[in-house]
Amino acid sequence: MSALGQSNRAFFDQLKRYYRWYTWGLLLFVAMLWAMERFGLPRIWIGYTFMFTTIGLYAGIGIMSRTADVAEYYVAGRRVPAFFNGMATAADWMSAATFIGMAGTLYLQGFDGLAYVLGWTGGYCLVAFMIAPYLRKFGQFTIPDFLGARFGGNVARGIGIMAAIICSFVYVVAQIYGVGLITTRFTSVDFGYGVFLGLAGILVCSFLGGMRAVTWTQVAQCIILVIAYLVPVAWLGLKYTNSPLPQFSYGFVMERLAQREQQLMNDPKEIEVRDIFAKRAAAARARIDALPQSYDDGLVSARKAVDDLNEARAPIPEVRAAERVRDSYPASPDAARKAWAAEAATNAARAAPLMPHGEPFWSGNPDPVKAEAERNGKRANFLALVFSLMMGTAALPHILMRYYTTPTVNQARQSVFWSLAFILLVYCSAPALAVMVKYDIYTSIVGRHFSDLPAWISAWAHVDPSLLSVVDINHDGIVQLSEIKLGPDIVVLATPEIAGLPYVITGLVAAGGLAAALSTADGLLLTISNALSHDLYYKMINSSASTQRRVTISKFLLLLVALVAAYVTSLKPGDILQMVALAFSLAASSFFPALVLGVFWKRANRAGAVSGMLAGFLTCVYYIGTRFPFFQGLFGLNAADWPLWFGIQPISSGVFGVPVGFLVLIVISLFGGPPDPETSRMVDFLRYPNLKATASRET
Partner 1 sequence: MELSERHRIYWNRNRGLTIALLLTWFGVTFSVPFFARSVTFTVLGWPFSFYMAAQGCLVIYLLLIYLYANRLRKLDREYGVDEAEDE
Give contact residues for partner 1 (rule: CB under 8 A): 1-2, 4-5, 8-9, 111, 114-115, 117-118, 121-122, 124-126, 128-130, 133, 247, 249-255, 358, 360-361, 375, 379, 382-383, 386-387, 390, 407-411, 413-414, 416-417, 420-421, 424, 427-428, 431, 600, 684, 687-694
**Closer residue to partner 1 in complex, CB, 78/287:** 78
597-624: b or e for each residue (b if 16 or more CB lie within 10 Å)? bbbeebebbbbbbbbbbbbbbbbbbebb
How far is 277 from 280, CA to CA, in rounded Å?
Answer: 5
How far is 180 from 192, CA to CA, in rounded Å?
Answer: 7
Smallest gap from Cβ 433 to partner 1, in A, equals 11
**Closer residue to partner 1 in complex, CB, 34/116:** 116
Smallest gap from Cβ 42 to partner 1, in A, equals 39
Smallest gap from Cβ 467 to partner 1, in A, equals 25
Q: How far is CA 260 from the centre of its chain?
A: 31
**Closer residue to partner 1 in complex, CB, 30/128:** 128
**Closer residue to partner 1 in complex, CB, 265/325:** 265
| Beta pairing, strands 484-486 & 468-470 | antiparallel
**Closer residue to partner 1 in complex, CB, 545/666:** 666
Smallest gap from Cβ 648 to partner 1, in A, equals 14
**Closer residue to partner 1 in complex, CB, 2/451:** 2
Smallest gap from Cβ 86 to partner 1, in A, equals 11
Q: HSE on the CB side for 58, CA within 13 Å? A: 35
DSSP assignment of 283-345 equals: HHHHHHHTTTHHHHHHHHHHHHHHHHHHHTT--HHHHHHHHHHHHTS-SSHHHHHHHHHHHHH
Smallest gap from Cβ 555 to partner 1, in A, equals 30
DSSP assignment of 650-665 equals: GGGTHHHHHHHHHHHH
The answer for residues whose C-beta is within 8 angstroms of residue 64's C-beta and 6 or more apart is 216
How far is 507 from 517, CA to CA, in rounded Å?
Answer: 15
Among 387, 390, 389, 393, smallest CA distance to 92 is for: 393
**Closer residue to partner 1 in complex, CB, 358/659:** 358
Among 259, 237, 269, 274, smallest CA distance to 443 is for: 259
Amino acid identity, position 600: F
**Closer residue to partner 1 in complex, CB, 361/503:** 361
Smallest gap from Cβ 507 to partner 1, in A, equals 29
Smallest gap from Cβ 70 to partner 1, in A, equals 21
* Neighbouring-strand partners of residue 486: 468
Smallest gap from Cβ 416 to partner 1, in A, equals 6
Smallest gap from Cβ 107 to partner 1, in A, equals 13
**Closer residue to partner 1 in complex, CB, 6/310:** 6
Smallest gap from Cβ 597 to partner 1, in A, equals 13
Taken in order 176, 405, 80, 229, the sign of the CA dihedral is: positive
DSSP assignment of 26-56 equals: HHHHHHHHHHHHHTT--HHHHHHHHHHHHHH
Are 671 and 605 spatial neighbours (Cβ–Cβ below 8 Å)? no
Q: Quick one: CA torsion of 179, 182, 186, 187, rounded to 10 degrees? A: 30
**Closer residue to partner 1 in complex, CB, 101/178:** 101
**Closer residue to partner 1 in complex, CB, 2/543:** 2
